[in-house]
Amino acid sequence: MLTVGQKAPDFTLFNTEKKEVSLSNFKGKNLIVLFFPMAFTSVCTAELCEMRDNIATYSRLNAEVVAISVDSPFTLAKFKEEQNLPFDLLSDFNKEVSQTYDTYYETFVLNLKGVSKRSAFVIDKDGIVQYVEVLESAGDVPSFEAIQQTLATL
């Protein structure tokens, strides 16, 4: 499991415009990386809309946001459009990044195999993990307050 103080594992995933996005693209910036189980579900929608509605707060804290799920780029594109999300949604369709970040359900509800756990990571300008929250219950959401407090110290 990733812990505070570790170097964040790099990744390269496709966004909803079918362009590759890598962790290394954010060097020199603070980054919030959210993993979420599935687009179009109630808790995931509420979580990402919370980020959308407070994007100015994260901008003031000098942070970018990406959200990752195992959904396809096409599903994520529709979800992003419908919810008017102002940050990249990245497809971990091959489930490699979710496993690397140890935020992965082998078996999820309805016996679905290989779904990202809801989790939040704050990675600083140097690529070091400054905050980790991996939730076992998909019905819970990360502590946005704790994320903001962490960013305020960077």
> Which residues are designated catalytic?
44
Residues 13 and 89: their CA atoms lie apart, in Å, by 9
Q: Measuring CA to CA, which residue among 42, 35, 33 is closest to residue 63?
A: 33
The stretches of 25-94 forming alpha helices (DSSP H) are 42-53, 55-60, 73-83
Token code pair at residue 1? 């499991």
H or E, element range at 67: strand 63-69
